[in-house]
Chains A and B, each alone.
Chain A
Amino acid sequence: MKTRYEKIIADIREKSRLISHPVTFMELCGTHSQTVAQYGIKNILPENIRLVTGPGCPVCVTDQRDIDSAIGLALQGIPLATYGDMLKIPGSSANLEKARTKGADITIVYDVTEALELKRQKPNLVFFGIGFETTAPMSAWAIKKGLTLYSAHKRFFPAMEALIKNKKLKIDGFIDPGHVSAITGTGIYEKLSVPQVIAGFEAMDVLKSISMLLDQIIRHERKVQNEYDRIVQKKGNAKAQRIIKEVFETADASWRGLGKIKCSGLKIRKKYKDQDAEYVYRTLLKKIRRKMTIKPTACKCDEILQGLREPQSCPLFSKTCSPESPHGPCMVSIEGTCNISYKYGKIR
């Protein structure tokens, strides 16, 4: 008897034979990329189905300017707290870990409640908040509890719109992020006229979503389907949406690799300006940013983040760039495309 994995793979192969042209699907979440690499999903897909990784690693898309600003604040004696992955992300000339060796007070926290605890001992603590809709509600909650935040938070959907507009990239279907969708709901994706499936993070979820995308291609449909309905509800998490809206407003934001994207950032509202590091330290940040320079590098993270290039074709990959000594953000985060490729080897 066939196992359910053998059945779904046979189903994908059968459907792929009904499609005469090559198709490219993009998975949009770093955790999906991990599942795809860990289970060798790219290798078992039929020849005419290509899976590329998009900009779904929030750590990786954090702009150099934000890293440099955080380093600048920390080196000026302002205690910082942030999520662990952020420490090694390169700014223009250093990273937060290096700033630590120069005496900067930077603490890794697991969640914002730890940062709030820490604030009791360090009243001028700034939390460097990053992430999409999955971490923005926690930051909003903490701001309401009195935490000061430097917001590098982003909205995910505007990046998908930017990818669709990119003429260099031809995407036939998206595997939409599971936990971002748990917050936003499914409706937002309907603005895009491309086949999409919101997927969970087990290997079976990803395989099933590929099969569902193939169905849409065969039937010439362009709709949003929800494979992850054990978590994602049509309207999303209303409580989380409300708190994001209450504390943040949308603003243009710069993404590493994708450049400036309209209304893709989450800026702290004026009502909470006394907890907005951008406002509290505006004079200092102006001074820090005046000295910033963008250092040219051979790192190809910008193209990798858009699915335009595979890590192995970057001249630095596994030569001078490795998880121990990363040049670009995609090698730092465990959800970064280069880090995953380094760990799991060459994938088709």
Chain B
Amino acid sequence: MCLAIPGKIIEITGEKAIADFQGIKKEINISLVKVALGDYVMVHAGFAIERLHTEDTRLNPPI
């Protein structure tokens, strides 16, 4: 249930946006976050729940 995937915002229309999930483009809802074109977001159950606060979209934490 908590499985979320990162996607890049490529189009915004009001509460909706198109996110690019490594080539697969899907409509998502962005009403819970403040985002701009080009931002990466974590998407869970069709909604962006948070913006990625890093340039590193591979998501691997630094060590």
Contact = CB atoms under 8 A, between A and B. Distances in A.
Interface residues of A, number: 50
B2 A31 contact: yes
A178 interface: yes
B38 interface: no
Interface string B29-63: 10111100000001011110110111010011101
B4 interface: yes
Interface in A230-244: 230-233, 237, 239-240, 243
Nearest to B26: A110
B32 A179 contact: no
Interface stretch (A89-97, A132-140, A255-263): A132-140
27 contacts: A31-B1, A59-B1, A110-B45, A111-B45, A111-B46, A112-B46, A114-B46, A134-B4, A134-B44, A135-B45, A137-B32, A178-B2, A179-B4, A179-B44, A202-B60, A202-B61, A204-B60, A204-B61, A228-B61, A230-B54, A230-B56, A231-B42, A231-B50, A233-B50, A237-B32, A237-B33, A237-B50
Chain B contact-residue range equals 20 to 34
Nearest to A199: B61
Contacts of A79: none
- Candidate in A56, A83, A141 with the most chain B CB atoms within 10 angstroms: A141
B24 interface: no
B53 A231 contact: yes
Interface in A53-76: 56-59
Q: Describe B's contact surface by its main secondary structure.
A: loop
Contacts of B31: 141, 239
A278 interface: no
A27 to B, nearest CB: 12
B61 A200 contact: yes
A335 B1 CA distance: 8
A242 to B, nearest CB: 10
The 10 tightest CB contacts between A and B, nearest first, are: A111-B46, A230-B54, A182-B50, A179-B2, A58-B1, A240-B32, A31-B2, A111-B45, A4-B63, A138-B47
B36 to A, nearest CB: 15
B49 A243 contact: no
Contact of A208 (B44, B45, B63): B63
